[in-house]
Amino acid sequence: MNHMTEEQLIAYREGIAEQRAAISDHLAACEECRAEMERIEAVLSALDTLPVPDPGADYGRHVWQQIGPRLPEKRGRWWQMWMAPRRLVALAAVAALIIAAFLAGRMSRRDHGVDNIASREQVRERVLIVAVGEHLGHSERMLVELSNAGPSDPAQKQVNISAEQRRAEDLLEENRMYRQTALQEGDAGLANVLDDLERVLLDVAHSPSEVTPKQLEAIRQKIEARGILFEVRVVGKELQQRQEASQPAPAQNDSAKKERNKV
Amino acid sequence: MNRMQQSIENAQAIATSDALAVERTLAGERDAFRVLVERHSQNVFRLAYRMTGNRQDAEEVVQEAFLRAYQKLGQFEARANFGTWVYRIAANYAIDRMRQRQKEDARREPPRAEGVEDDPMNRVADDAPTPERLTQSLELRKQMEQALAALSHAERTAFVMRHWEGCGIEEIAVVLKSNSGAAKNTVFRAVQKLRLALEPMVGTKIQARAMGTES
């Protein structure tokens, strides 16, 4: 019987052998080759016990903090810039509000019924609810991440928050648009919350990109003192509930709006 | 649904989500790249650590791999897998880092005093493990690290990518800038060298275990 070569056995063990079935049959029948295979296996199994240190659950975040500020801005093509999902959501919401107002206006000219006016308000408000709900979700995530940021090494004197800053800048742009729309829609409560959020986003966007743990703590305390995370969560939840309700009664909408307007 | 099907579906979902993040990054949304960094950093670290053998170099490889991936993102083919692609970039940079480290170490190594190298007593004092100094498993670990360090950069890369990371031979060939046949031979040579270096020690352990005398 011709025995297997070491090369064939290693290739079999490492899953790169071409004649796998033939080697397998041979091993089943040949004790000598089986013993050789066991010796190879023993070395490889011993190597498998070599540990790899666990870099930690938040390692990806740590890597991003290190490289994020070093990444140059990618200038997308002009149409890609406008097609960026975040910008698209804000633009689509505003466009939908204009279209809804236009269509509802045409319908109400044909028929001045109260139902049509109510329906126009419902459509416009639903568009605002969806877009602002998403915006508040993004803002909440950024603020939570900023609150949890900290030096990965206790000896580290500076914490890089430039990634959070850039997100705050983007959110600020959207926030202004939604706040103005909420004011035009007469939703003063929502406009107030968005106004509070805007101040926090401004603070974050204008902070230095590298802060000391003490400065970071001061930013955290400002966020906490304004209670903005709580406000954002409450309004976000309320918007979500309203979005989930398939046909919200106009009276309920009004009461929710009035309730928020007390804020 | 069986586990394999579920894992294939998970892999597909990740690939789709990766493709979307790549598209958004290319559209100018830098933060979309964060998703890719956070998702793939751990895997790239594991590969980098196994290739370089130390944490500091591994962390440098991870950062550099993602920086290079960001710079070259325009060259990334939409149908490719981002995880595999960034792996390849990391493996290439890890080879560069190993070469650089070797040169640095060679420069830093102090000149040996004459006659010291040839003194067998010095070798015995350095090499012979005593139970007081090291446990047997620690000694085996040291030997394994040394055996891996003694492989050529190509051999270590091929072994790590195939044995530990399960990469395909074609993938390894791309990193080594060779063909499949040569890549297979490199894996073979690596295992053969590791066997030569470690079998006496592993064999002793197996024998000791069989005789019930292992400490």
Q: Which residues of B touch A174 (CB under 8 A)?
A: none
Q: CA A209 to CA B200: how far, in whole Å?
A: 56
* From A63, A75, A167, residue closest to B62, measured CB to CB: A63
Contact partners, residue A16, CB within 8 Å, separation at least 6: B162, B169, B184, B187
B11–chain A nearest CA distance, Å = 19
Q: Which residues of B touch A49 (CB under 8 A)?
A: 141
**pTM (2 decimals)?**
0.57
pLDDT at B126 over 70: no
pLDDT at A77 over 60: no
Structure tokens at B204: 């002793």
Nearest to A63 by CA among B206, B147, B48, B113: B48
pLDDT tier, A209 (very low <50, low <70, confident <90, very high otherwise): confident
Note whether ipTM > 0.90 here.
no
Nearest to A131 by CA among A259, A230, A228, A239: A239
pLDDT at B129 over 60: no
* From A43, A55, A75, residue closest to B195, measured CB to CB: A43
Q: CA A131 to CA B44: how far, in whole Å?
A: 36
Q: Which residues of B touch A73 (CB under 8 A)?
A: 28, 30
Q: Which residue of B has its CA nearest to A70?
A: B67
CB A84 to CB B184 under 8 A?
no
Q: Which residues of B touch A70 (CB under 8 A)?
A: 67
Instruction: Say how many C-beta atoms besides its own lie within 10 A of residue B97's C-beta.
Output: 20
Choose, out of B22, B24, B29, the residue to mutate when testing the contact with A (most A CBs < 10 Å).
B29
Sign, CA torsion A13/A16/A19/A20: positive
Condensed to tens digits (0 to 9), the pLDDT of residues A80-97 reads: 545 555 555 566 666 666
pLDDT for res A260? 46
Contact partners, residue A106, CB within 8 Å, separation at least 6: none
Q: CA A91 to CA A24: how far, in whole Å?
A: 63
With a pLDDT cut of 90, the percent of chain B lying above it is: 54
pLDDT for res A115? 57
Q: CA A24 to CA A15: how far, in whole Å?
A: 12
pLDDT for res B124? 38
Q: CA A124 to CA A140: how far, in whole Å?
A: 24
Condensed to tens digits (0 to 9), the pLDDT of residues A170-189 reads: 788 788 878 877 777 777 78
Return contacts of B59-62, CB within 8 angstroms, 24+ apart: B59/A55, B60/B97, B61/B90, B61/B93, B61/B94, B61/B97, B62/A63, B62/B90
A196 neighbors A235 (Cβ within 8 angstroms) = no
B126–chain A nearest CA distance, Å = 22
Sign, CA torsion B91/B93/B99/B101: negative
User: From chain A, which residues contact B within 8 Å (Cβ)?
Assistant: 6-7, 10-11, 13-14, 16, 39-40, 42-44, 46-47, 49-50, 52-53, 55, 59-61, 63-64, 66-68, 70-77, 80-81, 83-86, 163, 166-167, 170
Nearest to A9 by CA among A49, A45, A39: A39
CB A67 to CB B28 under 8 A?
no
Distance of CA B102 to the CA centre of its chain: 16
Report phi then psi at A159, rounded to 5.
-115, 130
Contact partners, residue A193, CB within 8 Å, separation at least 6: A231, A232, A235, A260, A263
Q: Tokens 């560069």 sit at which residue?
A: B96
Q: How many helices (H) and strands (E) does chain B have?
A: 9, 0
Report, in angstroms and rounded to the nearest whole number, the Rg of chain A calculated over CA atoms.
30
Q: Which of A156-160, A190-194, B158-162 has the lowest mean pLDDT?
A: A156-160
Condensed to tens digits (0 to 9), the pLDDT of residues B100-117 reads: 888 888 877 665 544 444
Q: Which residues of A touch B199 (CB under 8 A)?
A: 39, 42-43
Q: CA B144 to CA B193: how far, in whole Å?
A: 11
